[in-house]
Structure 1
Amino acid sequence: MLLRKGKMHRFAFSILLSLATFRCAIADLVSCAGIVPMTYRSENITIADFGGVGDGRTMNTKAFKKAIYRIEHLRRSGGALLYIPAGVYLTESFNLTSHMTLYLAKGAVIKATQDTSNWPLIDPLPSYGRGRERPGGRYMSFIHGDGLQDVIITGENGTIDGQGDTWWNMWRQGTLQYTRPNLIEFMHSSSIIISNVIFKNSPFWNIHPVYCSNVVIQFVTILAPRDSPNTDGIDPDSSSHVCIEDSFISTGDDLVAVKSGWDEYGIAYGRPSSDITIRRLTGSSPFAGIAVGSETSGGVENVLAEHISLHNMGVGIHLKTNIGRGGVIRNITVSDVYMENARKGIKIAGDVGDHPDGRFDPNALPVVKDVTIVNVWGQNVEQAGTVHGLRNSPFTGICLSNISLGGSSRPNKTPWLCSDVSGSAVEVNPWPCSELISTHQTGACSVPVAISLV
């Protein structure tokens, strides 16, 4: 189901009685509009013009490549729209080009082949030093873009299907030679819009903008089975000015995870993720709803996540890093969150995630500071939260305000657990650990609060 703007999922904020009318009205007035303009294309072409056949059997790789070659070599300005009519278009992976719109009509499905033998390989990301799962290179994403500008993927809720079960089985059986492909990846690109499309069964992460700027992702649905490995929904990675809103995600891993590189490679590359807005997101996962990390070596700053509704979760809000990561995580604000049926409500941890190799610097300690989590309510949350910093790099400026994670039908009796952390708490139930100083003033704690980007 695709969420329409201004409407909430049935188990979302209607339950937040203290927040309902006023805050939802404000949320409806704020959107990603203006970050990236929706470009009018001077020419429209259809995949059928290039031999595309939507019978679910014919291989359409050549048709896609021919059509995109045509767009790439247009002499007139404004680019072109590639129209995919209703039908199932089987294809191998392919690259997009600048100044194009990929438009999926109602009933259109672009489906990845399950023949992995000829899947193209590309170099590892420099901020990771190797493939995320296996040493060496990695398989190219199903739909890929590198060094592009002004690209739109949109339509009438058509589907991009990665047919990931073949890849998941390879991962489970230990037969992967290289890291699995993402469903959609943009690298070194800007002015990207992804909207009104259903993404399903990604081999690995679903939507991965890396080294990008000015990216809008809205009105999308992302689906994968709960047991599908590492099928993150949306992972902004060493990217800036990214806005994610009004979407539904149900996958086997984190719904949204903000990243910025892996240990010594991310430190050397030195590109942070910054100015990330996430709002009006609904979803379910055995892992995290809103995550930062664990790959944060380039730093993460100025993240705002608000009006989030989570159901059947592992962890609602998860900030995660590790010794050897380096990087600064700061000015993170998460507000107006409802979660139902979660193993843990809030987790902020300095001992999460593996390392690319043994060459990481154990003295490269991450810095986590100025994190505000406010207006959070949960039902049937097994443990309210844990906050564990590092002995030689304590987490500072942690603010918890107006949080109730005790549940109703199953009261929360598991205490908060904290170490190497300082900050404040206001109106938190159950009451958090003693490391967070009790304050009684109304309003949020006195730490910096991230500001909406739009």
Structure 2
Amino acid sequence: MTQQKSITNKVKKTCLAWLGLLAFSTAWAQQPARPTIQQVSFPTDTLSISSFGAKGDGQYLNTEAINKAISTCSEKGGGVVLVPAGLWLTGPIEMKSNVNLHIGRDAVVLFTDDFTQYKLVESNWEGEPAWRNQNPISGKNLENIAVTGSGIIDGNGGAWRMVKRSKMTESQWKKLVGSGGVVDEKANIWYPSESSLRGSKQKKAGVMRPGTTPSDFQDVKDFLRPNLLVFTQCKRILLEGVTIQNSPAWNLHPLMCEDLTLRKVLVRNPWYAQNGDGVDIESCKNVLVEDCTFDVGDDGICIKSGRDKAGRDRGMPTENVIIRRNVVYHAHGGFVIGSEMSGGARNIWVDDCSFIGTDIGLRFKTTRGRGGLVENIFINNINMVDIPGEAILFDMYYAAVDPVPLIGDKKEAVKVVTLPVTEKTPRFQNFEIRNVQVNGAEKGIFVRGLPEMHIKNILIENAHISARKGVELIEASNIQLKNVLLSTTETNPLIRIENSDNIRLEELKQQTGTDVLLSIAGESSRNIELHGSQVENVKQLSEFTHGANRKALRIKK
């Protein structure tokens, strides 16, 4: 009787698992409503910075004149502050409510490389409160603000950033070292000053701790690079038309803002720019990013919500975001969530974007200690060309290194252990990715969750992927690949599944012939279904390793 009861329970568990997979496959019918993003509005009154004594000769420091124009405009009820033709050297610009800072087509706003113009202020660095040099453009607790026009804003980032030797040619490296600054003990990284080098040796330099003041960090001040444009707790923001480039660190960093629009913005950084992200949207609500172009040194379009305990305590997810018709050239990732996502992210739509040469295309990264729930992410119509890494990546073992190893770098193998689930455990779930075209990648799809917290509920449908390697699913649950065409040069295996469950491969097609179609590993792998798929050019349909049970796989025509 006991044996019969045990068999009955196993059957029930199996049936419930398959019912769960069926429910998952139809769960995407209900999507949240897309948000409406409130827009800015300004009086037509226009003040030119020239009227306040500014000089566009590239030599005169215009900080006082530009800020006086902005303050005056705001005090009069708002309007447009015009930066006309010229090269306008300046220190930090502080925005005010109801002001549209308009950069003329033939105008360049160039931030000074005189670091004494940037005082240490309370700020935020990679998701934690920190003392940093004042941002070149900033605003806090403002409403109805804009930076528009078709001119250029240049952060003079080369004066601030360290540079890795591995990212330079030998002649470039010699020229950089000959320009001044210092190199580290191994002569692998150039720093613009001794202060910057000292800061690199401190763990979390500048991060606020009880009792610290700006004076505690004066000896490493040069290391505390600012993000170029930071708006904090602001409402109704527009960035439109301008070129924003050469940032000391991140280019654009809206933090805890609401009703933000980025439209037709060009964001540029050298490809080797350390922490040279395009836009990092952190703990914001109601966001539109459309018709923009990014060519940067780190992640392109990135969603964040704070780091570890600081992010969890803030408890503000990035939510209600529409990203459409954007192009990303060089970047570590085209569209990215993480790794600082401890406050969560939800209800995000990404449509009609192209990633050309980004290290990774769609990049979702986190690690133990972050916590945070990322869910309800809807992605449609994505083109990718020449991706050196993975076209689509989910990874819960992010280690803060370049996604594609540089010459001499080695990726450490992760140590797989099961830990208790706590508030520090991150979660990725409910992603829908449709209509993806990939011409050239190292690997098509990579999903790696944690033993204690699988990445789950992922649908990838209508994807045509040309890559060296196919698909790898590790510690994943409720994954559905539907109508996925894989053309790979490495064919052993095409798809590897490890300790994953409720996997449905439907209408899978392989274009180049395959030695092994499915390699299934691990005792926890179960409920894997191959349904209506092309298997004519397969030498070996499946293999089972590391304790995987052959009953884990079901094949249906």
Q: TM-score range by the shorter chain?
A: 0.7 to 0.9
Give yes or no for contact 2:339–2:365 (8 Å, CA) kept in 1.
Answer: yes
SS of aligned partner of 2:363: strand
**Larger relative contact order (Cα-Cα within 8 Å, sequence gap ≥ 6):** 1
Taking structure 2 as the reference length, the TM-score comes to 0.67
Give yes or no for contact 1:127–1:266 (8 Å, CA) kept in 2.
Answer: no
Q: CA deviation at 1:440?
A: 4.4
CA distance in 2, matches of 1:120, 1:279: 37
Superimposed CA distance per residue, residues 344-380 of structure 1 (whole angstroms, 9 cap, x where no aligned partner): 201101011459xxxxx98410111001111111112
SS of aligned partner of 1:319: strand
CA distance in 1, matches of 2:365, 2:244: 26
For 2:110, the equivalent position in structure 1 comes to: 111
Q: CA deviation at 1:130?
A: 4.1
Q: How does 1:52-131 map to 2 (within 5 A)?
A: 52-74=54-76, 77=77, 79-125=78-124, 128-131=127-130
- The amino acid of 1:120's aligned partner reads K
Superimposed CA distance per residue, residues 388-435 of structure 1 (whole angstroms, 9 cap, x where no aligned partner): 0111111110111111112xxxxx341322211121110113265444
CA distance in 1, matches of 2:421, 2:113: 41
Cα distance change on mapping 1:321 and 1:263 into 2, 3 Å? same
Q: Which has the higher helix share?
A: 2
Superimposed CA distance per residue, residues 94-144 of structure 1 (whole angstroms, 9 cap, x where no aligned partner): 21000001011111111100111331222143993344xxxxx11221110
CA distance in 1, matches of 2:440, 2:89: 43
Give yes or no for contact 1:294–1:353 (8 Å, CA) kept in 2.
Answer: no
Give yes or no for contact 2:264–2:291 (8 Å, CA) kept in 1.
Answer: yes
For 2:446, the equivalent position in structure 1 comes to: 386
Cα distance change on mapping 1:371 and 1:101 into 2, 3 Å? same
Which residue of 341, 346, 351 corresponds with 2:392?
Answer: 346
User: Once structures 1 and 2 are overlaid, which stretch shifts more, 163-172 or 46-55?
Assistant: 163-172
- The amino acid of 2:362's aligned partner reads I
Verify: 1:165 aligned to 2:158, yes or no.
Answer: yes
Taking structure 1 as the reference length, the TM-score comes to 0.82
Superimposed CA distance per residue, residues 5-29 of structure 1 (whole angstroms, 9 cap, x where no aligned partner): xxxxxxxxxxxxxxxxxxxxxxxxx
Identity between Structure 1 and Structure 2 (%): 28
Q: How does 1:299-448 map to 2 (within 5 A)?
A: 299-343=344-388, 344-353=390-399, 363=422, 364-406=424-466, 412-422=467-477, 423-430=479-486, 432-434=495-497, 435=500, 436-440=503-507
CA distance in 2, matches of 1:72, 1:270: 32
Cα distance change on mapping 1:369 and 1:213 into 2, 3 Å? same
* RMSD, matched Cα: 2.2
Give yes or no for contact 2:85–2:104 (8 Å, CA) kept in 1.
Answer: yes
CA distance in 2, matches of 1:150, 1:390: 43
Superimposed CA distance per residue, residues 48-79 of structure 1 (whole angstroms, 9 cap, x where no aligned partner): 010010011111011012112212322xx4x1
Q: CA deviation at 1:191?
A: 0.2
SS of aligned partner of 1:192: strand
Q: CA deviation at 1:36?
A: 3.1
Cα distance change on mapping 1:111 and 1:127 into 2, 3 Å? closer
User: Once structures 1 and 2 are overlaid, which stretch shifts more, 342-351 or 63-72?
Assistant: 63-72
User: Once structures 1 and 2 are overlaid, which stretch shifts more, 167-176 or 37-46?
Assistant: 167-176
SS of aligned partner of 1:49: helix
CA distance in 1, matches of 2:485, 2:224: 42
Verify: 1:252 aligned to 2:246, yes or no.
Answer: no
CA distance in 1, matches of 2:37, 2:258: 10
For 1:149, the equivalent position in structure 2 comes to: 143
For 1:3, the equivalent position in structure 2 comes to: none
Q: How does 1:233-252 map to 2 (within 5 A)?
A: 233-252=278-297
- The amino acid of 2:275's aligned partner reads N
Give yes or no for contact 2:276–2:296 (8 Å, CA) kept in 1.
Answer: yes
Query: Any unmatched runs of 5+ in structure 2?
Result: 1-33, 163-180, 182-188, 200-219, 402-419, 487-493, 509-557
- The amino acid of 1:165's aligned partner reads G
Give yes or no for contact 1:92–1:142 (8 Å, CA) kept in 2.
Answer: yes
Give yes or no for contact 2:126–2:340 (8 Å, CA) kept in 1.
Answer: no
Cα distance change on mapping 1:190 and 1:349 into 2, 3 Å? same
Give yes or no for contact 1:323–1:362 (8 Å, CA) kept in 2.
Answer: no
Cα distance change on mapping 1:149 and 1:399 into 2, 3 Å? same
CA distance in 1, matches of 2:373, 2:40: 34
Cα distance change on mapping 1:336 and 1:432 into 2, 3 Å? farther
User: Once structures 1 and 2 are overlaid, which stretch shifts more, 423-432 or 343-352?
Assistant: 423-432
Q: CA deviation at 1:172?
A: 4.3
User: Once structures 1 and 2 are overlaid, which stretch shifts more, 368-377 or 166-175?
Assistant: 166-175
